[in-house]
Structure formats: C-alpha cells, structure tokens
C-alpha cells in the first residue's frame, strides 16, 4: 500500500530528530573539570550511600541533604570508612548496628518486610488475575435485553408520548426514565 512507506518515513524522521536532540545535550557532558573534592570517585560513592541513610534529627531528610551536625558527622564517618576500603554493605552494617533499621531509607528485606517488598507485585498479579477471570465469565443474560413491557415503554417515550404510569425501574441496569435524561440522551446521539 502506498501509505506504508510514508508512515515508516515519518517514524524514521521523528527518530532522527529525537536522536539529534539527545546528541546535542550529550555533548554538554564532554570532559570533567578539575575536582574540588580530594577524590571525586570516592565522593560519588559517599553521596550515593548518604542518600540511603536517614538523618535522625531531621523530620525526613537524607544525611546527604541535611546540614545538621549529626548528619555531617555521619557523612564524614561514611567517607572515612569507604576511604579505608570498607564496602557499602560494611558501612550500612555499621550504621544499623548503632541506630537500628530506622536509619535505612531502603528497608531491609526480612520476614517483617516481606509484605512491603513483595506485596505490590502480589497485589498486581491478583488484580490482573481477577480482571482476567471476570472478563472471561459470560454473564447469565445479556444486560441489554428488555421485556415486552419495557420495550413498549421505550417506544412510547421515543414517540414523545408520556409513558403509561410512572414505572419504577426494576433491578436491571436500564437508564432511569426521566424527561431530563431523555433530553440529554437525545443530544448524545449526534456526538460520538
């Protein structure tokens, strides 16, 4: 079909445009300036770890962001230990030993936090499964079949006559018959 090459051309052009955009910004990162800290690679590790640790005297900040004395001191501790060659896990163990799990913003995975870590995915699976089962079920009777009396009622309304007595809607999911909703449903017929 003649349309297919046009579509793929459009897509390719869009891709090229976006790639060019990315290239333009990518060049902003060319080269590293003179480091201000003694060891920028170490600083990077310190910052990353510090962002996982909670400042205990603040309301809700990491020790990376907080200016509180304890936070600064703890950050220094992190730096010293990493410089000494400790691993990230060693530093975390050090902190947890002194302050408990509370200091970790990433809760440890243990029995008491299984629900926390796995709950969302279990919930998602349950939700999708429930949805699938409900959609597969065929209902007993199609919801939009009407009895003869209801058909007559509907025909009367569409013809613009008043319905034979106010019929209270049964426990079916048919629209509540009032003159107002009739007007708005008539208006909907002309729109998609």
Partner 1 sequence: MKRFALPLGIFLILLVFLGIGLRLKPQEIPSPFIGKPAPAFTLTLLHDAQKSFSPKDMLGKVWVLNVWASWCAPCRAELPALMALTKEAAIPIVGLNYTDTRSAGNKWLASFGNPYQLSAFDSDGKVGIDYGVYGVPETFVIDKSGFIRLKHAGPVTEDDIKDKFLPLLKELSGG
Partner 2 sequence: MIPELGNLALMLALCLAGVQATLPIVGTFQNNARWMALAGSAAAGQCLFVVLAFASLMASFIQNDFSVAYVAANSNSLLPVFFRIAGVWGGHEGSLLLWTLMLALWTLAVVLLSRQLPRATLARILGVMGWISIGFLVFMLFTSNPFERTLPGPVDGRDLNPLLQDLGMIVHPPLLYMGYVGFSVAFAFSIAALISGELDATWARWSRPWTLVAWMFLTLGIFCGSFWAYYELGWGGWWFWDAVENASFMPWLLGTALIHSLAVTEKRGSFKSWTVLLAILTFSLSLLGTFLVRSGVLTSVHAFATDPRRGFYILIFLAIVTGGSLALYAWRAPKIGLGGQFSLFSREALLLVNNVLLVVAAGTILLGTLYPLFLDALNLGKISVGPPYFEAVFVPLMIPLLLLTAVGPFLAWKNDSIQAVLGRLRWLALGAAVVAALALLVFKTSVMVAVGVTLALWILFATLWQVVQRLWHAPAGTSLRQRISRQPRSYWGMVMAHAGIGIFVVGVTLVKGMESAQDASLHVGQSVTLGAYEFTFSALKKIQGPNYIAARGTFEVRRGADSVATLHPEKRFYTVQKMPMTEAAIDRGFTRDLYVSIGEAAPDGAWLVRVQHKPFVSWIWAGCLAIALGGALAASDRRYRMGARQRAAASPPISSPVHSFV
**Rounded to whole angstroms, how far apart are CA atoms 22 and 16?**
10
Residue 116 lies near partner 2 (rule: CB under 8 A): yes
Task: Using the rule CB under 8 A, give the single segment among 84-92, 147-155, 156-164, 176-184 that binds partner 2.
Answer: 176-184
Evaluate the CA torsion angle 66, 71, 72, 77 in order and state its sign.
negative
- Name the helix (H) or strand (E) containing 116: helix 114-136
CB 133 to partner 1: min, Å: 12
DSSP assignment letter at 137 = P
**Rounded to whole angstroms, how far apart are CA atoms 143 and 175?**
12
Which tokens sit at 189?
């017929």
**Rounded to whole angstroms, how far apart are CA atoms 33 and 44?**
15
Which of partner 2, partner 1, none interacts with 164 (beta carbon under 5 to 8 A by kind)? none
Query: Which of 31, 69, 85, 139 is in the footprint of partner 1 by CB under 8 A?
Result: 69
Number of residues that bind partner 2 (CB under 8 A): 85
Query: Which of 2, 69, 141, 144 is in the footprint of partner 2 by CB under 8 A?
Result: 144
**Rounded to whole angstroms, how far apart are CA atoms 58 and 67?**
9
**Rounded to whole angstroms, how far apart are CA atoms 70 and 68?**
6
CB 22 to partner 2: min, Å: 6
Which of partner 2, partner 1, none interacts with 1 (beta carbon under 5 to 8 A by kind)? none
Residue 31: which residues within 8 A CB-CB, separation 6 or more?
none
CB 101 to partner 1: min, Å: 8
Residue 61 lies near partner 1 (rule: CB under 8 A): no
Closer CB to partner 1, residue 39 or residue 76? Answer: 76
- Of 84-123, binders to partner 1 (CB under 8 A) are 96-100, 102
**Rounded to whole angstroms, how far apart are CA atoms 21 and 26?**
9
Binding mask 47-76 for partner 2 (x = CB under 8 A): x---xx-x---xxxxx--x-x---------
Residue 97 lies near partner 2 (rule: CB under 8 A): no
Residues lying near partner 1 in the complex (CB under 8 A): 56-57, 69-70, 73-74, 77, 96-100, 102
């Amino acid at each position: 079909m003649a349309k297919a090459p046009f579509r793929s051309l459009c897509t390719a052009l869009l891709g090229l445009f976006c790639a060019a955009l990315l290239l333009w910004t990518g060049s902003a990162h060319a080269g590293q300036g003179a480091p201000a800290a003694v060891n920028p690679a170490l600083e990077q590790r310190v910052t990353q770890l510090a962002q996982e640790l909670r400042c205990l005297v603040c309301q809700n900040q990491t020790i990376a962001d907080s200016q509180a004395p304890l936070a600064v001191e703890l950050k220094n501790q992190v730096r010293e230990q990493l410089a000494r060659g400790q691993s990230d896990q060693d530093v975390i163990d050090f902190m947890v030993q002194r302050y408990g799990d509370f200091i970790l913003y990433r809760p440890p995975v243990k029995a008491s936090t299984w629900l926390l870590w796995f709950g969302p995915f279990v919930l998602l699976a349950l939700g999708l499964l429930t949805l699938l089962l409900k959609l597969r079920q065929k209902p007993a009777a199609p919801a939009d079949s009407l009895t003869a009396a209801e058909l007559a009622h509907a025909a009367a309304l569409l013809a613009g006559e008043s319905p034979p007595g106010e019929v209270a809607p049964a426990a079916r999911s048919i629209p509540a018959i009032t003159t107002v909703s009739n007007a708005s449903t008539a208006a909907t017929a002309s729109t998609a």
